[in-house]
Amino acid sequence: MITIKNSEFMTSAVKKDQYPEGGYPEVAFVGRSNVGKSTIINSLTNRKKLAKVSNTPGRTRLVNFFLIDNTCSLVDLPGYGYAKISKSEKLAWGKIIEEYLMNRPDLKKVVLLVDARHKPTEDDVLMIKYLRHYSIEVIVVATKLDKLKRNDIRKSENIIRETLGLSEEKVLFYSALTKENLQKVIDEIFSGILPETV
């Protein structure tokens, strides 16, 4: 069992020369603008305002770094796929995400967040293909589990697996509201990165 005891904001960046130096292993979170990325980060770290939650999707335009237990970094990447922004902004966000993924030797895993209620989007498919191409370990977490009926969970998992081309990989379902599956998600994401407690 892995327990997160301390978490703190480190810095925000838009390009690689602004990334923090520290050599900590990193876990990056990526997903659509309205998938609840900031909410799940706050929920996993048990901090209400660690990551800023916006009422307007697509507001996070920075790469945000958080230090976890003085042992590793949690990295919040800009959300993608928000319809109400210009093509030039979409391209800029894509470049920010790509620059991070291509230039962080300390990156150990990427957590791809998808909405449990909906079929993953074309952007989600492109993202997982990109991560596979560069042999980056991916963990898929389906958010908003509390919005699903119990008998729809298996159906949702099958749709996510088929759309993203998953075979052996796990799909973890999580609710930031009820914290259902909290320990399971923390253990999977931080396995091999944070120490286990007895």
pLDDT in tens, 75-91: 999 888 665 556 666 66
List the domain range (segments joined by +) for residue 47: 7-190
User: Total domain count for the chain?
Assistant: 1
Domain-located, residue 180 = yes
Domain-located, residue 17 = yes
**Any idea what the CATH number is for the domain that residue 138 is in?**
3.40.50.300
Strands (E), the chain: 7-13, 26-31, 63-68, 72-76, 107-115, 137-143, 171-173
pTM over 0.85: yes
Domain-located, residue 195 = no
Residues 6+ apart with CB under 8 A from 164: 112, 114, 120, 124, 125, 128, 140
Q: Is the pLDDT of residue 54 over 80?
A: no
pLDDT digits (tens, 9 = 90+) for 130-180: 999 889 999 999 999 999 999 999 999 999 999 999 988 889 999 999 999
> Torsions phi, psi of 30, nearest 5?
-140, 150
